[in-house]
Chains A and B, each alone.
Chain A
Amino acid sequence: MTEGLIWGYVYPNEAEVQWSILIVLYPYITGLVAGAFIASSLYHVFGKKEIKPVARFALLTALAFLLVATMPLVAHLGHPERGVQIMFTPHLTSAMSGFGYIYSFYLIVVVLEIWLSFREDIVKKALSSRGLKELLYSGLALFSYDISERALHEDEKLARRLAIIGIPSAAFLHGYVGFIFGGIKANPWWSTPLMPIIFLMSAIVSGIALLILLYIVAMKIRRHAIDHSCLYSLAQYLWVFLIFDVVLELLEVVSMKYESLEEIEIINILLSEKIATTFYGVQLTLGIFVPFVLLLLVGIMKNHDTLKTIMIAVSSTLVVIGVFAMRWNVVIGGQEISKSLSGTLTYVPVFFGMEGVLPAVVIFTIPFIILLVLTYILPPWKDMEEATE
């Protein structure tokens, strides 16, 4: 069965691809988290007022995706029940060992940040409702109802500080995911010090794009007008980060080709035969080039708000897809070349089963459900809608 999928010589143990679509999903999801968080810090830390309408919504999005970030990993483990050992006995020389602690730290930061920025609403709800609802919100308020001017001011100061810690830790959370791949000297397609930054840039890009999409969809569902100044400034940030992203991604490939080390032959085969469509087609053309041009037009054009909104929505969709393709090209592409440097193999995703496409799809829908529940408990709509009242 496997013979037809193998070209040249691969080590006999390599006949099977070890990291499947779930491991593609994992950096994708953490990327969305990091991106959404950084988008919200544009307001919380850098005080970009135009972002205010989506700032709290971005935090909720980050949390929703953060909560499922571990799922593809755990589902992929050979012994999921032993997974916590990564917290109990983290082997510090391993890039992966930091995962448990970095993740927990970041989770705490995000939850605290959300709690502080929603506390006023929570307390008001707790005071104005009865029964179970009262209990829920009082619990969320930790049975402390001080929302005096001074208290709220203190909250805001702390939230800002947290957001300042949050940015480096979001960068770290995702940069380190890049290092998991970038630090593997055995794999020439992965091993590059650029990997963490590439991951980080594409994470920010995908996070902002997702936020734009969710914002447009939420406003359409709630039948409310879109705040165009917010949308355009988000689109502008997306455009800027796209530039960083494409520069780094091209730099990696160009320097690999220019230096032409021992492994260049197999890299060329990888790029021209194995992942040509997903790399040149989806990741670079659809995922970066087309949105780049569209967003440029959005920046130049005057009026035509509806058309511009559509163009932004299209570019964001393309970016979100393109970044997924980028994760795919890294994770799967890296495993499709043999470490013998003289052969390739092909990953054929299965649909059912623990590591199939189905669980991946299921895991990817969970954050949207969580987001729905979160926005039900902690509605962020107020600031999204008041600007365009």
Chain B
Amino acid sequence: MNGDLTMSISRREFTRIGCRVIIGAAAGTAIIESIVKNSLASEDKKGEYDWNEHYWGFVVDTTKCIGCGRCANACKLENHVPFDEHLYRTWVERYRVLKKEEVKIDSPNGGIDGFTNDIPKEDIKKAFYVPKLCNHCDHPPCVQVCPVGATYLTEDGVVLIDYDYCIGCRYCIQGCPYGARYFLAEETPHHKPHSVLGGGVADKCTWCYHRITKGLLPACVQACPAGARIFGDLKDPDSAVNKILDKERINVLKPDLGTRPKAYYIGLDREVR
């Protein structure tokens, strides 16, 4: 049937194409997905870092956060996120429960420029900061809704984006209950909007995947002066994260949505969503 095709291409290539045609014919079947996965996952192409040995987790201690916004600032610098746009991989929220039973929440410029005392202390019942970032859920709704497979959960538990594959439909931005995703239209080292029409892709926190796979801490964790952000390996029983998970009472954001976040919060108030 494909006799004419073989004329122009070598035999090996033909078998390769042939195989892929067959695989292609069954496009999208989960069976093939799992076969491919099992046969190739053992082949480690990524050098000395082995992602099977790690499973990353994050703890946010809201009782320690001083709201300086250095995390959000460092994040933008580390990941080349434009400063003049409403784009935040991480941000700090301030909650102020007023004496007249009203809750004021704000996060001016993600907390990067600090907060102003615009409500007198006497009117405030309690107040605290809550840093937010991508939760790297174990059941990520954003990955679920991506129509092309441009965002995924890695073996070491991080949700990443394929900037060269994302079509920019923004369904994942709608799907994320935490508002952690944004639409990146500017040129950065991660993404080049080469399309004539401008172009843009979804973007979000990666827990600084390029750092943690080199043994460094995420930029926000390193920048935090108050120890409100703790990062570590859930597979390592002695890691900083596990030490906290073993003894503190922790919660996650919007647990009822069944997303199983891996960003755990200490001292989460009921007002925080």
- Where the two chains meet, the residues of A that have a C-beta atom closer than 8 Å to any C-beta of B are 2, 8-16, 18-19, 73, 76-83, 85-86, 88-97, 99, 180, 183-187, 335, 338-343, 354
Contacts and interface: CB of A to CB of B under 8 A. Distances in A.
Interface string B26-37: 011010000000
Interface of B: 27-28, 30, 86-88, 91, 93, 103, 105-107, 109-110, 132, 141, 143-150, 165-171, 173-183, 185, 193, 195, 197-202, 257-258, 273
A9 B105 contact: yes
Given A89-B148, A91-B146, A79 B167 contact: yes
A12 B83 CA distance: 13
A13 B195 CA distance: 24
A94 B147 contact: yes
B167 A13 contact: no
Nearest to B257: A185
13 contacts: A11-B91, A11-B178, A12-B109, A13-B180, A13-B182, A79-B201, A80-B195, A82-B168, A83-B167, A90-B27, A90-B148, A184-B145, A186-B175
* Residue among B93, B146, B273 with max Cβ neighbours from chain A (10 Å): B273
Task: Sort A-B residue pairs by CB-CB distance and give the 10 closest, nearest first.
Answer: A78-B168, A11-B179, A78-B200, A186-B177, A9-B105, A15-B86, A96-B147, A97-B147, A13-B182, A91-B149
Given A13-B182, A86-B167, A185-B257, A92 B28 contact: yes
B185 A19 contact: no
Contacts of B91: 11-12
A342 B105 contact: yes
A85 B179 contact: no
B115 to A, nearest CB: 13
Contact of A14 (B168, B169, B179, B198): B179
A2 B86 contact: yes
* Residue among A9, A76, A338 with max Cβ neighbours from chain B (10 Å): A9
A339 B178 contact: yes
A77 B168 contact: yes
A270 to B, nearest CB: 16
A180 B175 CA distance: 10
Given A12-B179, A15-B86, A78 B167 contact: yes
B119 to A, nearest CB: 14
